[in-house]
Structure 1
């Protein structure tokens, strides 16, 4: 009996070995195709092409969980009469891999189920970048003639494990970061837990950093698209707490084309550091691109009056409520003040666009007020949304605007109701149509030449949309036609500018792709709490860290009074006490917003300024004016400087009273939502000037003095080993000390609410 059992055991073992080594339909050996360059190692399943591991060579750290979900490396959406059909790797009966060289893998999928065209195949090329912990990923979809492909999702990096003390930094407009992104994602309602950002658009540059903030290492994900094709970046959380990173690419729908292969690669890599490290790494590439070399600011094309702006006043309404307070503000500051002017137009805000003319106070009054302000050196740009048309305006019907509006894949317009008071909607116009470029050019021409403004604020400028209207003359669906046509639009507008007059164009948000087209960029994350509350994200100067020396940024919701209400909106919702003071408990929030602007290199801005604030909120206005004066003495750093990491210093924190409120008075009358949040009391930013000097901006919002003790190595900032240290305040530069042999020690007492720049000069 024992002998029989032994024989059965031997037979079973032999069968198992047979299946393991020879294979069957249900069992496959998990073998890997691997490439490594001494920095990172990537492994893919030889049987399917699934991404198995991503390791750092130095310590064999794998960014993937040991048991990770198997997800396709790519997905393709086909448009069919019955709807959208999606295929992925599992639909391929054939798979081959080729190790082209020591650093390059070519993965090919073919023989697809449900695809009649036998030439159809998907090729992914993954290449490690020499001597860097980076890899480039490129996809090619071939044999697609006669097909309509609306989206190609590639790469899909699934199963990213929790890095510990995890932070996610994203260049959403100026930039934001959040601690424990998995926890934040898990709180999103609905089946899909996803953060997604559009580029070009609210995602101002093509780089995201996921990192461990205490041990300083992370996952670097980017694209090297120098032509700004439309794409989406996302992070998704599944039920097993696994993160998945995706890039959604949008081809132009062209049934005659037989191949789609983006003109750029995705970049996946590791880095040692934090979000600043990632920004510096991306800057190395971004500063070499065409948008940097053609930056208007870098090439001296921005008007001097814009560059010299010491303070912006952002007011709304008629000139008596906008230009007159600006004159008083300029007299107190004794430096250039410019005006960012909303609600000057004859139509109701957020529903009557683009019927801006005549101005609501009348043509003659408006022009006289504008000329009076300009005589005192005050320049004004006026609000005009650069892509919205009110669907209930007379001109919407009369000019057949619907024909030139953006259409989605189903032929629907992108219509949205912004105005909660009138409930009238706006529809997005297509930048790819000559009709809209001509329409907006004529509006700008009238604002600048007839009404004597100094330029136009182009609301929603740094946005882009997919349009599927075949009659518009642009590629259907994806592509980069939106940005190209925005460039043509600004060229048309500037062709109408009068000679020998400072005229400029500003736009909402920031974006690398718009650097050649706009003179100034509105960046509002310094006031993030004021419009978003405590939503788990913190503002960071991500964009400035990459592109500060290429762009003038400005803007702030920072206000000391209740937001205004448009007089053209329904009277029943108007506040009983317009322009009422906000409670003094929120004053620290105002100071915080201004301090962030100062140390992060923005032109300072105050919203809803009124003359009575000088006496009613003296401390806050004095702080703002002092800040503007100090900044004006350090423009080589805070206007033109290159971002550097601030020296290490122990900062003070305090729980502050915060207010979240609409940018205009709320419908219920109670516009303020109060909450508390811990915030820094000391803010800093380091900037390198063109002549190789370093400015360290410091801003205190504390009521107490604070001891500054900094020990800096000159090598860390590329400075000479010997030099001197000055302190710049509102009166100018004052000598502090000298340094030798590369060791810079700075010790002084930062006074309550003091603002200054520590200047380190080479000798």
Structure 2
């Protein structure tokens, strides 16, 4: 019997189509199942579920190598008696999928021969967002009864092609950017060539941007976790120079649970622009979350004296070396100066915690010095690490502290030796134990109510840990209990504070999740070269671009003298010339750090200030004081303003001398590592005030006059078609020009090392 060719073709086509729809493994012709929303296209293998295609429809760029489908989309790690075991999608002997609609796809892997549990199943769901180049990814691991899962790695986006002129921007606390990340990754020694960031922790928000800096498009990878569950983000490189992006999710080990599925989605997509564009895209989501709505600054809970701080002095030691120099600074500045005080405590730094009391200079001397400085309106916060306990201290043994310390998955303590001089270690305490919350609250209470300080700097505050101690009052392993208990800790501490006194809590780092709990955040990337050298990363104000108006940030390692040495450390390592002047050739590094701080909206800070610097390093100190005065005249921008992209400005560069040195005196005689680096001579930051004015902060570090020419359209900044332009400097504000027809032209010449804010204001008629 003869069959018509058209009918035969129709039968074959129908058979293939049915195979694709049902996930049939016997289809000889494999077709990808594809999701499209007019912005991006995602394609998956109908045989394995492998991620095969990822395209930006607008520019037709394909982000993945030609055939990445054999690489697993996920990996599950188990805790076994013999150690960690793992499975990937290739271990499944059955795969099915369901395309629910044009935007939604469900992938199911089951029948894992390597597992005794036959009910074990992995389900991934990918859903494109309507009219946006973004997709949500979620995973569910079912049938996990009696299985101890240590981590679920999902999504794994393998085979990411080189985008060209590539930059990687990461919110590592304030933010960092790297040019040509593949080259830097390939230089990492060892088998695993990877960058990894912990959230919540040093990764201050959940967004990473990999982009082409000339074509202005990129890969947007994020997460929409509004509850701050513990996870790790990473990029790594393979032998073919392809990148792989991963999120490692950490379930709580609960043998009574049948299913694990994160209470959030991974977000994968594309964007147009650079890291600022990615930050603005994330800002649209992040500023709607609870942490933004309940930030202490936004709710008006931060003390006004903190908001009015014009300059921080970060000194160490007894009051004569801290409070007296602060008084000298305040007399010169004639604006509020606050003190960030290390090494006041009776124990050796970085090994004797938490045996802080009594202060090393004695109780009476300390209290009298603090009260005297407060009469001069100088407020002090004192250093107390909020999670470390020295294992060589008497209290460690006497109070049985190890019972309340963090335990890893193998039951070991998280112990680390920070102090290279004594070799004594610190161990991380578990935030979820009431014992530790009570202990730290008692210490904070004593600092404020007995010793009359204005608050506590909680070192290592914006960190989180996984703890597997089953005797602690929290889920074993993953979860968001660390942040919840930090919230309880700060509430407990504040309940002890006097109501009629400005008292505040500051913490190390900055993070969206901590916005409701801390008053100020120490951010140090402005001094990145000083502590990290020239390591390929450049500091950027990533966090500021998202959350500036929700958080007070401060901090700077910028110093003009050799770092100090704790008098309680071994004498043999003490420097022969304490607090010696750094070579004047590093002057521009100091100016650069302060300029970054100013234009990025941080409260200015100087480390290790001594009164003799006003004459020995007059140029640098004058720069700092002028910068603080200008900032004080523009708080509506540099404290309360919303970050915007700066107009294009021609910025000259210069190769300058840089110093890398420890924040303490080094253990060997030579503490300074010198190198050269090209640096901008002009820094800018643009801010929108709450009443719709524009402030463009400018800071020159040039020894010569610098011409500044800006031409841009008012509509790009939501401004009216006409208005006025003023300059804010140390003397106040004065009008310099006007604009009309939406065309803003600013032409001026900055004096050597001039700092100012260009203010653009709509006409009153337009505002009406």
TM-aligned CA deviation for residue 118 of structure 1: 2.6
Equivalent runs, 1:254-269 vs 2, <5 Å? 254-269=254-269
TM-aligned CA deviation for residue 117 of structure 1: 2.5
Aligned residue in 2 for 1:552: 552
Aligned residue in 1 for 2:372: 372
TM-aligned CA deviation for residue 585 of structure 1: 0.0
d(CA) in 2 for partners of 1:739, 1:492: 53
TM-score by length of 2: 0.96
d(CA) in 2 for partners of 1:741, 1:396: 70
Aligned residue in 2 for 1:581: 581
d(CA) in 1 for partners of 2:537, 2:70: 30
Q: SS where residue 620 of structure 2 aligns?
A: helix
Aligned residue in 2 for 1:424: 424
Q: SS where residue 346 of structure 1 aligns?
A: coil
2:634 and 2:757 in contact (8 A); partners too: yes
Aligned residue in 2 for 1:178: 178
Aligned residue in 1 for 2:699: 699
Aligned residue in 2 for 1:665: 665
Q: Which digits, 9 at most, give the CA deviation of each residue in 1:466-520, with x for residues without a partner?
A: 0000001100000000000000000000000011100000000000000000000
d(CA) in 1 for partners of 2:239, 2:509: 34
2:108 and 2:124 in contact (8 A); partners too: yes
Equivalent runs, 1:489-638 vs 2, <5 Å? 489-638=489-638
Aligned residue in 2 for 1:17: none
2:51 and 2:69 in contact (8 A); partners too: no
Q: Which digits, 9 at most, give the CA deviation of each residue in 1:165-212, with x for residues without a partner?
A: 000000001000000000000010100100000000000000000000
- The count of corresponding residues between Structure 1 and Structure 2 is 746
d(CA) in 2 for partners of 1:62, 1:351: 52
TM-aligned CA deviation for residue 670 of structure 1: 1.2
Q: SS where residue 747 of structure 1 aligns?
A: strand
Aligned residue in 2 for 1:35: 35
Q: Which digits, 9 at most, give the CA deviation of each residue in 1:385-435, with x for residues without a partner?
A: 000000000000000000000000000000000000000000000001000
d(CA) in 2 for partners of 1:53, 1:389: 50
TM-aligned CA deviation for residue 71 of structure 1: 1.1
Aligned residue in 1 for 2:656: 656
Q: SS where residue 468 of structure 2 aligns?
A: coil
Aligned residue in 1 for 2:744: 744
Aligned residue in 2 for 1:413: 413
The reply on whether 1:439 has 2:439 as its aligned counterpart is yes
d(CA) in 2 for partners of 1:601, 1:72: 43
Aligned residue in 1 for 2:754: 754
1:307 and 1:552 in contact (8 A); partners too: yes
TM-aligned CA deviation for residue 69 of structure 1: 6.7
Q: SS where residue 518 of structure 2 aligns?
A: coil
Q: Which digits, 9 at most, give the CA deviation of each residue in 1:205-232, with x for residues without a partner?
A: 0000000001100000000000000000
d(CA) in 1 for partners of 2:27, 2:285: 45
Deviation above 3 Å: which 4+ runs of structure 1? 20-30
Aligned residue in 2 for 1:100: 100
Aligned residue in 2 for 1:686: 686
d(CA) in 1 for partners of 2:124, 2:379: 53
d(CA) in 1 for partners of 2:612, 2:206: 44
Q: Which digits, 9 at most, give the CA deviation of each residue in 1:132-170, with x for residues without a partner?
A: 000000001111112111100000000000000000000
Q: SS where residue 257 of structure 2 aligns?
A: coil
Aligned residue in 2 for 1:206: 206
Aligned residue in 2 for 1:717: 717
d(CA) in 1 for partners of 2:638, 2:25: 65
The reply on whether 1:118 has 2:118 as its aligned counterpart is yes
Q: SS where residue 471 of structure 2 aligns?
A: helix
Q: SS where residue 471 of structure 1 aligns?
A: coil
d(CA) in 1 for partners of 2:626, 2:134: 45
Q: SS where residue 472 of structure 1 aligns?
A: coil
1:69 and 1:159 in contact (8 A); partners too: no
d(CA) in 2 for partners of 1:575, 1:110: 65
2:48 and 2:69 in contact (8 A); partners too: no
TM-aligned CA deviation for residue 67 of structure 1: 4.0
Gapped regions of structure 2 (runs ≥ 5): 1-15, 764-768
Q: SS where residue 470 of structure 1 aligns?
A: coil
CA RMSD in angstroms, aligned pairs only = 1.5
Aligned residue in 1 for 2:292: 292
TM-score by length of 1: 0.97
TM-aligned CA deviation for residue 27 of structure 1: 9.5
Q: Which digits, 9 at most, give the CA deviation of each residue in 1:56-106, with x for residues without a partner?
A: 112321101224473100011111212222011011111111111110001
Sort the Cα spacing of 1:480 and 1:419 in 2 relative to 1 into closer, same or farther, 3 A.
same
